[in-house]
Chain A
């Protein structure tokens, strides 16, 4: 089969592109090296919808940030995922740098960010009482927001899939060549894929993919920039209510402190350039560093309430702008590279831009029956007792709580497994339902979730993984018995 477009990478950019493509008639496919969507940069970031004052004016980054931010309300409504405009604050703690706040404000205005204000010390402290005592003033951007990065990515991919886009997981691209037939031949560990157009949305590997097809004078280099984070218990989730940034430096937007859309508190990231595109390990120095830095602008940080720490890699390109264009000398091959922060925010706009490019290049025809909406996994926590009983009556599994910390029922887990592009691993279930994401970090629920995966997918216990690959949870039966049978 010859595809019209193959997208490489099922992160938030690839999924956004896939969803936009699904509006049109054609054969589209996404190749993903991991076992699920949202496995790279998209899964480990600040979960922030940036207002758009940070990126330099006239860059693609600035344009797509502001556009992505604008699109977010409708998109999240369509995709039935949580999004909250809690507002961002950039806090100045040094009188000497106060003028920089004004510059940031001016840049925001030039970028098209709406409704920003410069706050005095007292205004800032009134809005956010846990700001540092040395607060001198703050930039306030009410359009800043918080979102669940997993849900956004999963929802876009799922919606694309429901509208006919294929997804191939555990499929790693090894080589790409244009053959004499004028088509791109993509060799993978799972056979060859042939396509008219390619979109390279490979995150920290976008350089590897780009360099497979580009000319010698057009090589790019993506530097994995590691960011470490701490996630704190919901008990302290309202320590701040806005997303609180320090003033930006040349290393980026600095260590933020923010509530998450699920009610936790997130602190991070650090910024360290590394070589390993899989180097998502946390370090003692990194965690100490982010705690120290966050404490500069937020006081009494309840860091003892940490429930997990993690690290993500931003796909930093040396020119520090998004690269979204057809590769020189490689017709019909489009890069979506260098998508670092604010990539999550920009993703809907990236999808729109690439979708429009391909529509125009390929003269794609809009589908008549395209469905813009999907329903997320039901969240029964907002339901009344009567509504909940209605749900349990229809499906008793909604009455059986599996994850105690987040109160996630078997019904929600079954939904996550059986929906399009459903969960196949503990992390897959976790990202779709939050089972295992609470304060005990899956200590109680993982054996129970394994039982459900075993039953529903026919996987043996030994085959069940944390997140695909070799991340198996158990190795064998006790008493030297293999394969689950006695």
Chain B
């Protein structure tokens, strides 16, 4: 069996950044396993701009952003294998992979970094009533067809869900000559960025209907029409509010789900809120030497944060490889309550953390002029006013090692407070 110091599952933005930082931290034998035919992951089909403002201080498109990391991987001569599917990861870090060229083989990994990303929620999981004709796509599938394969799924489009991919595809389809008739969003707010609502919908006169959902799909072979209706506070359609739109394409942009089948099979403990692994301050899962970063850990809003998180995962994996499993120190548990939905990480060992630790979380509703509060046990130690917080955007607080060690709390709680 061949062995590597670090095996990285996934060659998207998370895997690339993790590989680069692990190499910079002095790890020699690193292997990236990528299932697609090229590195870069989903960024390759995200041809719009808006990436990299935090990382590179300039606005890049997805492929350009990916290329900056790919270039570094090439410069560092980090090994990678394309068209390679990881079939299994065992709890003792044996990775089973497969490809045309190499067949099925096993690798003994000093550390494993999970960077598989996420997938879109399909129609089936939404239980939308109606027929099941051709012409219904998740927005990302349509994005791949249009941007990479160069094919148009249809000419008259309805979009359900106002996540950023849905908004971006509304503009993309319009620029390619399709008519986007309406974007319906189940929630009373959009999950997408304001900028995308203005530049992808308003610029082209595409209506956004909040608190609306699809209640019927027509067409036995190919989609011919969808009906949308307004929903009440319990998300139930309100009779009499139905509007029918003839169309040949329905795009679904209704949420992303971290892809953790491999993690689960390996015995990685999951957080039911994020659908990603439970990790500590080192982004390490309950299995020693198995780390997670990027959208497989929790769905991010900006790729810049994915790169930043993955950089830390790479550094920590390098440390694990060099120093082995660290014993000792106290474990502080993190809790998200009252508006905060989850935290990443879930636990902190102050002895192992950096001087500053970014804790990321999301809120469950739109909050205006509210406070992000951090409690060490029952004592409030942070109270930051935010003009606006929304479920579509990640929030963060930064904890200081010195303060945590000084106070030595059993638990840290993050909550959203009105005052």
Q: Which residues of A contact B (CB under 8 A)?
A: 230-231, 235, 278, 280-284, 286-287, 306-310, 385, 388-389, 392-393, 396-397, 399-401, 404-405, 407, 439-444, 446-447, 451, 461-462, 465-480
Report yes or no: A444 in contact with B129, Cβ–Cβ below 8 A.
no
Closest A residue to B106 by beta carbon equals A385
Report yes or no: A281 in contact with B215, Cβ–Cβ below 8 A.
no
Closest A residue to B220 by beta carbon equals A278
Report yes or no: B150 in contact with A404, Cβ–Cβ below 8 A.
no
Report yes or no: B104 in contact with A441, Cβ–Cβ below 8 A.
no
> Which residues of chain B are near A404, meaning CB under 8 Å?
35, 85
* Bound CA–CA A170/B151 (angstroms): 26
State which residues 112-133 of B face A: CB under 8 Å.
119-120, 122-125, 127, 129-133
| A-B complex: 9 closest residue pairs judged by Cβ atoms | A308-B124, A441-B122, A471-B134, A466-B134, A474-B151, A401-B85, A389-B103, A469-B221, A396-B100
Q: Which of B105, B151, B222 contacts A461 (CB 8 A)?
A: B151
* Bound CA–CA A396/B98 (angstroms): 11
Report yes or no: B83 in contact with A400, Cβ–Cβ below 8 A.
yes
Report yes or no: A399 in contact with B152, Cβ–Cβ below 8 A.
no
Report yes or no: A310 in contact with B122, Cβ–Cβ below 8 A.
no
Report yes or no: B124 in contact with A447, Cβ–Cβ below 8 A.
no
Is B141 on the interface with A (CB-CB < 8 A)? yes
In the complex, how many angstroms separate the beta carbon of A127 from the nearest chain B beta carbon?
Answer: 27
Report yes or no: B150 in contact with A471, Cβ–Cβ below 8 A.
no
Interface of A (DSSP majority class): mixed
Q: Which of B103, B152, B217, B220 contacts A475 (CB 8 A)?
A: B152
Interface residues as binary, B124-165 with A (CB distance below 8 Å gives 1, 0 otherwise): 110101111110011011001110111111110000000000
Q: Which of B101, B105, B122, B153 contacts A440 (CB 8 A)?
A: B122
Report yes or no: B132 in contact with A310, Cβ–Cβ below 8 A.
yes
Report yes or no: A400 in contact with B99, Cβ–Cβ below 8 A.
yes
In the complex, how many angstroms separate the beta carbon of A196 from the nearest chain B beta carbon?
Answer: 34
Q: Which of A388, A396, A472 contacts B222 (CB 8 A)?
A: A472
Interface residues as binary, B78-116 with A (CB distance below 8 Å gives 1, 0 otherwise): 000001010100000000101111111110000000000
In the complex, how many angstroms separate the beta carbon of B101 from the nearest chain A beta carbon?
Answer: 7
Report yes or no: A399 in contact with B98, Cβ–Cβ below 8 A.
yes
**Mind listing 16 A-B residue pairs with CB under 8 Å?**
A280-B132, A284-B237, A287-B129, A308-B124, A385-B106, A388-B104, A399-B101, A440-B120, A441-B122, A442-B141, A443-B141, A446-B141, A461-B149, A461-B151, A468-B221, A474-B152
Count residues on chain B whose CB falls below 8 Å from chain A CBs: 54
* Bound CA–CA A120/B131 (angstroms): 42
With A281-B217, A447-B144, A447-B148 already in contact, 7 other A-B pairs whose C-beta atoms are closer than 8 Å: A389-B104, A396-B101, A397-B100, A404-B35, A443-B122, A443-B141, A446-B141
> Which residues of chain A are near B138, meaning CB under 8 Å?
443
Q: Which of A284, A444, A447, A470 contacts B145 (CB 8 A)?
A: A447
Report yes or no: A399 in contact with B99, Cβ–Cβ below 8 A.
yes
> Which residues of chain A are near B145, meaning CB under 8 Å?
447, 474
Q: Which residues of B contact A (CB under 8 A)?
A: 35, 83, 85, 87, 96, 98-106, 119-120, 122-125, 127, 129-134, 137-138, 140-141, 144-146, 148-155, 176-177, 215-217, 220-222, 237, 248, 261, 264
* Bound CA–CA A465/B135 (angstroms): 10
Closest A residue to B120 by beta carbon equals A443
> Which residues of chain A are near B101, meaning CB under 8 Å?
396, 399
In the complex, how many angstroms separate the beta carbon of B395 from the nearest chain A beta carbon?
Answer: 26
**Total number of residue pairs linking A and B with CB closer than 8 Å:** 143
> Which residues of chain B are near A470, meaning CB under 8 Å?
134, 221-222
> Which residues of chain A are near B148, meaning CB under 8 Å?
447
> Which residues of chain A are near B222, meaning CB under 8 Å?
470-472
Report yes or no: B122 in contact with A475, Cβ–Cβ below 8 A.
no
Q: Which of A388, A393, A469, A474 contacts B153 (CB 8 A)?
A: A474
* Bound CA–CA A472/B145 (angstroms): 14
Report yes or no: B131 in contact with A281, Cβ–Cβ below 8 A.
yes
In the complex, how many angstroms separate the beta carbon of A374 from the nearest chain B beta carbon?
Answer: 27
* Bound CA–CA A443/B220 (angstroms): 20
> Which residues of chain B are near A287, meaning CB under 8 Å?
127, 129
* Bound CA–CA A281/B130 (angstroms): 4
Given A310-B132, A471-B221, A474-B151: A399 in contact with B120 (beta carbons within 8 A): no
* Bound CA–CA A407/B104 (angstroms): 13
Q: Which of A286, A440, A478 contacts B146 (CB 8 A)?
A: A478
> Which residues of chain B are near A469, meaning CB under 8 Å?
221
In the complex, how many angstroms separate the beta carbon of B227 from the nearest chain A beta carbon?
Answer: 12
> Which residues of chain A are near B131, meaning CB under 8 Å?
280-281
Closest B residue to A480 by beta carbon equals B177
* Bound CA–CA A331/B250 (angstroms): 50
> Which residues of chain A are near B96, meaning CB under 8 Å?
385
> Which residues of chain B are near A475, meaning CB under 8 Å?
152-155, 248
Report yes or no: B124 in contact with A231, Cβ–Cβ below 8 A.
yes
Report yes or no: A282 in contact with B130, Cβ–Cβ below 8 A.
yes
Closest A residue to B87 by beta carbon equals A407
* Bound CA–CA A328/B206 (angstroms): 62
> Which residues of chain B are near A480, meaning CB under 8 Å?
177
In the complex, how many angstroms separate the beta carbon of A400 from the nearest chain B beta carbon?
Answer: 5
In the complex, how many angstroms separate the beta carbon of B225 from the nearest chain A beta carbon?
Answer: 12
> Which residues of chain B are near A388, meaning CB under 8 Å?
98, 103-104
Closest A residue to B223 by beta carbon equals A471
In the complex, how many angstroms separate the beta carbon of B232 from the nearest chain A beta carbon?
Answer: 14
Report yes or no: A284 in contact with B100, Cβ–Cβ below 8 A.
no
* Bound CA–CA A388/B104 (angstroms): 7
> Which residues of chain A are near B264, meaning CB under 8 Å?
235
* Bound CA–CA A463/B19 (angstroms): 42
> Which residues of chain A are near B220, meaning CB under 8 Å?
278, 280
> Which residues of chain B are near A446, meaning CB under 8 Å?
141
Closest B residue to A478 by beta carbon equals B150
* Bound CA–CA A230/B150 (angstroms): 34
In the complex, how many angstroms separate the beta carbon of A178 from the nearest chain B beta carbon?
Answer: 33
In the complex, how many angstroms separate the beta carbon of B321 from the nearest chain A beta carbon?
Answer: 26
Report yes or no: A401 in contact with B35, Cβ–Cβ below 8 A.
yes
Report yes or no: B150 in contact with A400, Cβ–Cβ below 8 A.
no
> Which residues of chain B are near A400, meaning CB under 8 Å?
83, 99-100
Report yes or no: A282 in contact with B129, Cβ–Cβ below 8 A.
yes
In the complex, how many angstroms separate the beta carbon of B125 from the nearest chain A beta carbon?
Answer: 6
Closest B residue to A282 by beta carbon equals B129
> Which residues of chain A are near B248, meaning CB under 8 Å?
475
> Which residues of chain B are near A444, meaning CB under 8 Å?
119, 141
* Bound CA–CA A24/B134 (angstroms): 40
In the complex, how many angstroms separate the beta carbon of B70 from the nearest chain A beta carbon?
Answer: 21
In the complex, how many angstroms separate the beta carbon of B74 from the nearest chain A beta carbon?
Answer: 24
Given A389-B103, A407-B87, A475-B154: A447 in contact with B149 (beta carbons within 8 A): yes
Closest A residue to B224 by beta carbon equals A470
Closest B residue to A228 by beta carbon equals B129
> Which residues of chain B are near A284, meaning CB under 8 Å?
129, 215, 237
> Which residues of chain A are near B123, meaning CB under 8 Å?
308, 441
